[in-house]
């Protein structure tokens, strides 16, 4: 099969799927996609489909370094998300733990170290739970009495490496 035939077949499949009701297609992490997949997505986005289709792609900013004009075509919109603010990261901590009872200083350490990266916030909270620095007491998360000084890894890479090092073989 030629690439044109494959693109036509995928487009036709999308149209058939969307005939009965609107279709939402989500393609996640396209910053890791091969060039052919990106071409297919651009082909679908540029097609005048007979059925209602929303094509939603997520990517890190690295995609724009290699494809600066990505999502600038007709009927396309690029939404760039910046890092979370400290207030938003604090809300995320509360959403993960509920009424945690964490001191503002500790919450501040987590939000400052996370630098607005949601994955970092989530992994820092998980690390605190795994390390026993915070414990669930009677349905609420509390700072452990023996927590001592809480150390926060300086980067997401350091945090993930530290968490991986703690895994058993």
pLDDT digits (tens, 9 = 90+) for 20-64: 999 999 999 999 999 999 999 999 998 888 889 999 999 988 899
Confidence label for 11 from pLDDT (cuts 50, 70 and 90): very high
Indicate if the pLDDT at residue 155 is higher than 90.
no
- If one compares 99 and 62, the residue with the highest pLDDT of the two is 62
pLDDT at 101: 61
Prediction pTM value: 0.66
- Residues near 32 by beta carbon (within 8 Å), at least 6 away in sequence: none
Residue 31 to residue 29: CA distance in whole angstroms: 5
Contacts with 101 (C-beta within 8 Å, 6 or more apart), sequence order: 140, 141, 142, 143
């Amino acid at each position: 099969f030629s690439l044109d035939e494959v693109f036509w077949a995928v487009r036709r499949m999308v149209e058939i799927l969307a005939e009965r009701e609107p279709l939402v297609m989500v393609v996640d992490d396209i910053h890791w996609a091969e060039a052919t997949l990106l071409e297919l997505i651009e082909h679908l986005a540029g097609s005048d489909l007979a059925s209602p289709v929303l094509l939603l792609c997520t990517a890190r900013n690295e995609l724009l370094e290699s494809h600066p004009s990505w999502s600038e075509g007709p009927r396309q919109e690029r939404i760039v998300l910046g890092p979370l603010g400290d207030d938003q990261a604090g809300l995320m901590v509360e959403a993960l733990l509920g009424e945690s009872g964490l001191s503002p200083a500790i919450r501040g350490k987590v939000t400052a170290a996370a630098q607005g990266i949601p994955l970092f916030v989530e992994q820092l909270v998980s690390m605190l739970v795994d390390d026993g620095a915070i414990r669930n007491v009677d349905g609420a998360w509390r700072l452990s009495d023996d927590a001592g000084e809480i150390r926060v890894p300086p980067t997401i890479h350091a945090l993930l490496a530290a968490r991986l090092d703690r895994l058993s073989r």
